[in-house]
Every structure is written in structure tokens, then in C-alpha cells.
């Protein structure tokens, strides 16, 4: 492979051959250290790298992302893990570093969706993070570098085929970007808007103050949705995304999807779920699937058998009221929207999942209805004036 061009295994699908990536001018800004990249691998790598680089630049904390099909399943910065999260993320037996915690949080936001992810790390991959990546089902990792021990660990993954990409952390692309669709060239200025605390200056609700943690979480949610297929709503709390509703045609469906993911993230920390005894030899992926089934309202015969095969003893199903009582403890959640919120239904649903802080572009003909909904629930909302559609 030259530094100017890399031949890919295939395009979006195996029948789309040949496929390649290349630099129009100069050389590619990264080096493939191990493995053979595919087209989607590289889209995930380059989108996820931008996300973690921006988070690290704004928040000055190690950042990680777990990407699937060119959208983040989760993203986070390296805040310490609570005992409940360590158990819920299956990392209570592992060494924790800030970067490892960032990836554990990214992977743990939606562990079912993160299966077979592409990992992005803002900092040099350390041994603790490499050990976590090694034991998860993952297709590849992009980072500005890899410690020698981390490189050795990951080179042994997937029978020596695990994809590792070392990114030039100083690389800056040109201001104008192009793409081709059906033989037609598109050109636009690159989206170089960066989410900082400045997007929260225009507060439009009765309550005006964003706590420091909420500012951090709104930056995380907003940066995440910038690199998520639109329409998008993102929920974040405690330094990590906990629910991302991506690629929906209506904003309320984005909100419902993000909220449901946030609810499941929090329900995974319920004492009954943390206390589940697993049958010997059950993989983490099978545990994730079993928990996901356990949290469903209704199961068919096959799903029941699948759940039973993973658990030593299936606990009594949590009732609707038990779930709601637990979810009432989820508070201080931040929400970011990549486009204006057109109706108050987004706020009504978000409130049920603990949302207290909101940022959105504003500009709907029903802005006053949305502001009133936030005031009804005691939320703080700012208009960023910044739309972040991504396609």
C-alpha cells in the first residue's frame, strides 16, 4: 500500500469492486498498521476520529467513540466509572485509565448496537484500553498512536487481522469538500463548526443556569450528533452519550429512539440486573442480548429460551411500575438536537427520561410552545443557532 492510495477489500457491499481511497494532493494522513481496511471501515474511522479529536480539544479530556455504520453508538470522555457502571459494562475486573474509561463508557452506552464496532481514541492507545478492546467484538481502531504493549495486544486480535490505523493528529483537511452521487459532483464548505460552551449563551427559558457538568454533557451530545446521520437527537449524562436517535425522518421518532436507549442504559444498572448469575461460558455479547430481551415487555418462545439459556436463574420480570420507579432516579440528563425542535412532544418525551438541559438551533414557528414545555418541567434550554445536519 502506498502512502497516496489504498486498495480496499470492496465498497459498501462485496459486489462493489474495485474500491480504493486516495489523496488528491500529497499523501494520506494516516498509516494502516495492521489489517486490511474496507470502505465502511474507513468512513467509520475518519468520521469517528473527527468526533474524538473535537471532544478532546474542547473538554481537555481523553475521548473515545464506538462507531457503527457511520454513526456513533456511543461516545464519552474519560470520567471515572462508578461501581455500578463497571459491573454493567463488564469491566469490574479490569485496570481503569482515563482512556479506558472513555471507551468503556462509549461501548456501554448501547452495548447491543456496539457489537462489531469501530473504535476511535483521541489519545495514544494504552495497554488498559487495548485489553478492553481485545475482549470485545470490534472491527478496528483509529488513534494517534499505540503503545508498544497495546500494539502487540491488538495485533493478536481476530487472528492477526484486526485493523489498526494511526492518524496524523495534526492533519487539517482543505476548507472545501466534494463527493460524487450518481455521477454528479457535490461541493460544499466543510462543517468546521465546533461545539463549545458558547452554544449555550442564548438561554430562552425561565431557568437560566447550566451547571458545569451539564455544559460538558451538552458539548458531548452536540459533538456526537454532528457526526451522526440526521435527523438526530442525542442524550448525555455523566460525561457520556447514553442514547442517540439517528437517521429518522421525524424528530419525535429520533427522540423516542434516543430516550428508549437512555432508559435501557439506566435499567442495566438496576440491582436486579446487576445481580444476575450467568451460566458458565456465556459471552459478554450473549449477556447483552439476554439483558436486552429481559427488558422487553413481551417475548416469544424462542426469545424466552434464548434468555433462559444465558442466565443461571431468570429473575422475575420487572413490572412497568418497577421500571418507572427506577427510571425516576435518572436525572440531570442533557439533550441536543441537530435541527430545530418543531413541537413540544420532543420535550414531553425527553422529560420522562430525566432530561433537564436542552440545546437546539431554534427557529420553529412553534418555538414558544417548546419554550413553554421546558418551563413546565423546569428545564434550561438554549438556542445555539447552529444546525448540524449530517448525511
Which pLDDT belongs to residue 25?
Answer: 87
CATH tag for 190-267+329-383 (out of 3.30.40.10, 3.30.70.260, 3.40.50.720, 3.40.140.20): 3.40.140.20
Say which CATH architecture domain 5-167 belongs to: 3-Layer(aba) Sandwich (3.40)
Strand partners, 67: 72, 118
Average pLDDT value for residue range 312-334: 95
- Cβ neighbours of residue 232 closer than 8 Å, sequence gap 6 or more: 225, 244, 245, 246, 247, 254, 337, 338, 388, 390
Which pLDDT belongs to residue 37?
Answer: 96
Which pLDDT belongs to residue 329?
Answer: 98
Which pLDDT belongs to residue 121?
Answer: 98
* Tens-place pLDDT, residues 335-384: 999 999 999 999 999 999 999 999 999 999 999 999 999 999 999 999 99
Task: Tell me the pLDDT of the chain averaged across its residues.
Answer: 96
- With b for 16 or more beta-carbon neighbours within 10 A and e for fewer, the 332-344 pattern comes to ebbbbbbbbbbbb
Distance (Å, whole) CA 181 – CA 50: 23
Q: List residues with catalytic annotation.
A: 68-69, 231, 391
Stretch among 200-214, 256-270, 295-309 having the lowest mean pLDDT: 295-309
Residue 328 has pLDDT above 90, yes or no: yes
Cell numbers at 391, concatenated: 448525511
Domain locations in the chain as residue ranges = 5-167, 190-267+329-383, 276-314
- Going by their DSSP bridges, the two strands 163-167 and 380-383 should be labelled as unpaired
Helices 284-294 + 301-310 axis angle, to 10: 130
Neighbouring C-beta atoms of residue 193, cutoff 10 Å: 14
Which pLDDT belongs to residue 297?
Answer: 85
Distance (Å, whole) CA 83 – CA 86: 5
Distance (Å, whole) CA 189 – CA 286: 44
* Tens-place pLDDT, residues 36-66: 999 999 999 999 999 999 999 999 999 999 9
Question: Is the CA virtual torsion 129, 130, 136, 137 positive or negative?
Answer: positive
The percentage of residues in the chain with a pLDDT greater than 70, rounded to a whole number, is 99
Which pLDDT belongs to residue 1?
Answer: 44
The percentage of residues in the chain with a pLDDT greater than 90, rounded to a whole number, is 97
* Tens-place pLDDT, residues 10-31: 999 999 999 999 998 899 999 9
Which pLDDT belongs to residue 2?
Answer: 47
Same fold yes or no, 5-167 and 190-267+329-383: yes
Average pLDDT value for residue range 240-244: 98
Amino acid at each position: 500500500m502506498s502512502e497516496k492510495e489504498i486498495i480496499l477489500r470492496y465498497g459498501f457491499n462485496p459486489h462493489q469492486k474495485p474500491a480504493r481511497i486516495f489523496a488528491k494532493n500529497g499523501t494520506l494522513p494516516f498509516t494502516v498498521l495492521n489489517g486490511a481496511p474496507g470502505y465502511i471501515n474507513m468512513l467509520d474511522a475518519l468520521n469517528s476520529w473527527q468526533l474524538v479529536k473535537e471532544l478532546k480539544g474542547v473538554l481537555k479530556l481523553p475521548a473515545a467513540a464506538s462507531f457503527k455504520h457511520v454513526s456513533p453508538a456511543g461516545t464519552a470522555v474519560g470520567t471515572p466509572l462508578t461501581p455500578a457502571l463497571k459491573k454493567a459494562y463488564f469491566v469490574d475486573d479490569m485496570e481503569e485509565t482515563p482512556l479506558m474509561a472513555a471507551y468503556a463508557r462509549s461501548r456501554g452506552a448501547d452495548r447491543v448496537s456496539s457489537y462489531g464496532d469501530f473504535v476511535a481514541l483521541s489519545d495514544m492507545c494504552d495497554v488498559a484500553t487495548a485489553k478492553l478492546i481485545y475482549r470485545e467484538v470490534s472491527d478496528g481502531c483509529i488513534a494517534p498512536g499505540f503503545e508498544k504493549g497495546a500494539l502487540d495486544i491488538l495485533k493478536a486480535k481476530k487472528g492477526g487481522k484486526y485493523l489498526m490505523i494511526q492518524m496524523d493528529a495534526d492533519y487539517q483537511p482543505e476548507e472545501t469538500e466534494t463527493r460524487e452521487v450518481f455521477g454528479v459532483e457535490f461541493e460544499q464548505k466543510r462543517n468546521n463548526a465546533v461545539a463549545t460552551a458558547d452554544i449555550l449563551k442564548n438561554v430562552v427559558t425561565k431557568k437560566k443556569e447550566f451547571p458545569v457538568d451539564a455544559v460538558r454533557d451538552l458539548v458531548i451530545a452536540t459533538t456526537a450528533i454532528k457526526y451522526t446521520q440526521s435527523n438526530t437527537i442525542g442524550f448525555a449524562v455523566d460525561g457520556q452519550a447514553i442514547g442517540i436517535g439517528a437517521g429518522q425522518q421525524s424528530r419525535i421518532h429520533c427522540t423516542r429512539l434516543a430516550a428508549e436507549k437512555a432508559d435501557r442504559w439506566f435499567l442495566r444498572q438496576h440491582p436486579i440486573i446487576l445481580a444476575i448469575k450467568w451460566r458458565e461460558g456465556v459471552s459478554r455479547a450473549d449477556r447483552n442480548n439476554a439483558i436486552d430481551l429481559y427488558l422487553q415487555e413481551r417475548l416469544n418462545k424462542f426469545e424466552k429460551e434464548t434468555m433462559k439459556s444465558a442466565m443461571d436463574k431468570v429473575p422475575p420480570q420487572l413490572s412497568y411500575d418497577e421500571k418507572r420507579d427506577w427510571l425516576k432516579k435518572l436525572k440531570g440528563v442533557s439533550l441536543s438536537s441537530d435541527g430545530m425542535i418543531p413541537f413540544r412532544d420532543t420535550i414531553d418525551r425527553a422529560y420522562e427520561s430525566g432530561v433537564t438541559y436542552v440545546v437546539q438551533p431554534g427557529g420553529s414557528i412553534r418555538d414558544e410552545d417548546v419554550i413553554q414545555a421546558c418551563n413546565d418541567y423546569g428545564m434550561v434550554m438554549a438556542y445555539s443557532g447552529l444546525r448540524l445536519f449530517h448525511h
